[in-house]
Amino acid sequence: MIEQLHASKQAWMASHITDAEYPTELSKQGLSLYQSQQDETTSTSLNAPQPLPSQHLSFYPVDCHPLTIRYALIRSKQWQDENQQEAVMEYLTQIMFEADSPAQLYVGFFKGKPAACGMLYQNEQGSLISDVYALPLPNQAELIAEMTAYLSTQASADSLYIEH
């Protein structure tokens, strides 16, 4: 079941480029980098929502293009090379949401600035917490744990999984 949920999420993420009428070369490169990184992830089951370990972040669902850009800025920082960051940024800013979208992206603000991001992907197979990342701040691990815990509380399915 985890593999099907992961594959469904991957197909949804790719569709923003593969279904686009005129995707840019840079966004295609970004998709390739994203997919390569995702090939290295593993998934585990969570038995129950995690308690929030701290309250450093203010959480916002990505529901407009300015928040999509903030999400992409944070997430692209996971790549060390600036050219790769630019390509991933170009790719992620192409994400479009419909009312019935299976994914919800979130941005976490720390001291008023975007610092963490994550995705909750849900379908009939379960809920998948994915793409959790925080900027390399001194409390990066805490911010990642807080984002993960928050996303676990937002999940509506009985089967809850997390990608690492």
Which pLDDT tens digit goes with each residue over 88-138?
999 999 998 787 899 999 999 999 999 999 999 999 889 999 999 999 999
Largest Cα separation within the chain, whole Å, is: 43
Whole-number Å distance between alpha carbons of 111 and 58: 9
Rounded to two decimals, the pTM is: 0.93
- Euclidean distance between the first and final Cα of the chain, in Å? 17
Type of residue numbered 14: A
**Range 2-163 classified under CATH 1.10.287:** no
